[in-house]
Structure formats: structure tokens, C-alpha cells
Amino acid sequence: MQNNSKINSSQKIQEFESFINEKLKPDLQKILDLRDSIYTKISNYLILKNNLEILEEINSTELTTLMDFGANIFVQTKVHDTSKLFVDIGANVFLEFTRKGAINFIEKQEKILNEQADELTEKAAKIKANIQTISQGIYELMNINEKEKEKYRK
């Protein structure tokens, strides 16, 4: 009977460890990666918002800047009219905005993205709690096995 109990405990421990390593940890990583991509979007929007606010402050209609062609190749570019610009609104769709309209859009997007990031942070915390709970259960199963061994040694 004791040997059968030991096998069941060892089997349960392996099942729990497998569940943690094959299900919970990959799920956690996916959520953290998605949250990181949202934080990157937020960062890009904030950079754009900051640049637009600077353009509003100096009230410039022309702009000379460097444009990234990819692979760190930059070309000096002159923008003749900065009153309107195109903003990527998602799915590679660009929409024309005034500077103030773009700033308003960015503020709304920032709020939405922060809410999404907060939801993902909560999901990640729940998964971490599940991993911790199951790990504690594994630890307790291991201690029960040790206590049973000592009980039968006496």
C-alpha cells in the first residue's frame, strides 16, 4: 500500500511539474511578450505626441528632419507643410490628422493601450500565482513522502 501511494505521489508530482512547464510558463511568456509589445506601441505614440507638441509650441510650418529608410540608413528630408500628417491607426492603415487631432488620437490610444497592458499584467499575476500554488503543492507532496518514509522507519 505504501509503495502504491509513493507511486501515485510521484506521478502527481510529475503531472504538476509538466503542467507548469508545458502550459503555465508558456502562457505566461506569451502574455508578457504581448504586454511588452503594447508598451512599445505606447512608447512610440508618446514620442510622436512629444514631437507634435514641440511643433505646436514653435508653430513651425516647415521641418527638416532625418528619415529612416531602414537598416539604419537615414536621408535628410524637408517637410513643407506640417499642419497635417498621417498617423498609423493600426493594421498598416494611415489616417490624415491635423497636429491637434493627432495629439487627441494619441491620447485616446494611450489610454486604451494602458488599459490593455493593465489587463495583461493582471492575467500574468494570476498565472504566476497559479504557478506558485502548484509549486507549493508539489513541495507539500514531497514532504509527505519524506514523512511517510520516516514513519515506517521507526
Q: Per-residue pLDDT tens for 63-120?
A: 888 888 888 898 998 888 888 888 888 888 999 999 899 999 999 999 999 999 999 9
Read off the pTM.
0.76
Return d(Cα 78, Cα 65) in angstroms, integer: 6
Return d(Cα 52, Cα 55) in angstroms, integer: 5
Residue 71 is placed in which grid cell?
537598416
What is the DSSP annotation of 104-120? HHHHHHHHHHHHHHHHH
Give, in degrees to the nearest 5, the angle at Cα 63 between 60 and 69.
Answer: 150
Q: Per-residue pLDDT tens for 4-21?
A: 555 677 888 899 999 999
Q: Where are the domains of the chain?
A: 30-153
Residues in the chain: 154
| Residue with the larger pLDDT of the pair 44 and 61 | 44
Is CATH 3.90.1640.10 what the domain over 30-153 is classified as, yes or no?
no
